[in-house]
Amino acid sequence: AQSVTQLGSHVSVSEGALVLLRCNYSSSVPPYLFWYVQYPNQGLQLLLKYTTGATLVKGINGFEAEFKKSETSFHLTKPSAHMSDAAEYFCAVRPGSSASKIIFGSGTRLSIRP
Amino acid sequence: DTEVTQTPKHLVMGMTNKKSLKCEQHMGHRAMYWYKQKAKKPPELMFVYSYEKLSINESVPSRFSPECPNSSLLNLHLHALQPEDSALYLCASSSPGLAERSSYNEQFFGPGTRLTVL
């Protein structure tokens, strides 16, 4: 069965510091992987996705993620945190066997300290 | 237009009321989804419509009744809800392709309807 694990339900960094949000997945077939962001009282917005090809994926707002098959990881990073990055972040996987379903991780709340 | 719209933004209803949530997209997507999201939790899939036909029902209670009148519209009819059904209800859409690896790419989400059942 496919699953997604996000390590750390809450991450706090200082403004200007590196952001690292961890995501590990389990999938028996090559997965599609996604990172979504949710600001308070809003829907989810796609940050970036990995389907095939280049394993380093760049997204919006300066975020990027690297697909590491050997580590079954898809960690999200941003070199320099901004106050506006404070939000909930969800990693998600779309199993190849279920075209229409995506499985979300439990989420990581990112806080930014001034 | 790359937006999914949802109405209303907020809804308060009693347990005996009948109400409907509406979702609309004009991106030509042929897959549409309803999710339920409780506070501090990820979205939980409720229903999937593919080409206006219900393809997935995640064992949702019958007090939730989805409807897809056309390829752009998705409704969720609510009747005899319970207080524990209070949540953020999210609609999403995506574009299915013809081949497995191109199918159902990223889902585009609407802003949600905040539902409170009294």
Task: List the pLDDT tens digit at each of the 114 positions of chain A.
Answer: 778 999 999 999 999 999 999 999 987 777 889 999 999 888 999 999 998 888 899 999 999 999 999 999 999 999 999 999 999 999 999 876 555 688 899 999 999 999
- pLDDT, tens only, B100-113: 444 447 889 999 99
Contact A43 B101 (CB under 8 A): no
Given A96, A104, A109, which is nearest B100 (Cβ)? A96
**Tokens 């752009």 identify what position?**
B72
pLDDT score of B11 more than 90: yes
Bridge partners for B57 per DSSP = B47
Most confident of A89-93, B54-58, B95-99: A89-93
Contact A43 B41 (CB under 8 A): no
| CB atoms near residue B105 (< 10 Å) | 20
Residue A114's Cβ-count burial label (10 Å; 0-12, 13-18, 19+) is exposed
Assess B42–A contact: CB distance below 8 Å, yes or no. yes
Q: What are phi and psi of A84, to 5 degrees?
A: -70, -5
Residue A76's Cβ-count burial label (10 Å; 0-12, 13-18, 19+) is buried
pLDDT score of B99 more than 60: no
What is the model's pLDDT at position B101? 45
B112 to chain A: closest CA residue: A43
Who's near B104: CB < 8 A, 6+ residues apart? A94, A99, A100, B31, B94, B95, B96, B97
- CA–CA dist A111, A82 (Å, integer): 10
- CA–CA dist A1, A29 (Å, integer): 10
pLDDT band at B41 (very low <50, low <70, confident <90, very high): very high
- CA–CA dist B108, A44 (Å, integer): 8
Mean of pLDDT over chain B: 90
Which of the two residues, B96 and B34, has the higher pLDDT score? B34
**Contact list, B56 vs chain A (CB under 8 Å):** 100-101
What is the model's pLDDT at position A1? 72
What is the model's pLDDT at position B1? 62
Q: What are phi and psi of A31, to 5 degrees?
A: -95, 160
- CA–CA dist B82, B93 (Å, integer): 27
The secondary structure element, H or E, covering residue A49 is strand A44-50
Nearest chain A CA: its distance from B7 CA (Å): 13
What is the model's pLDDT at position B28? 87
What is the model's pLDDT at position B42? 95
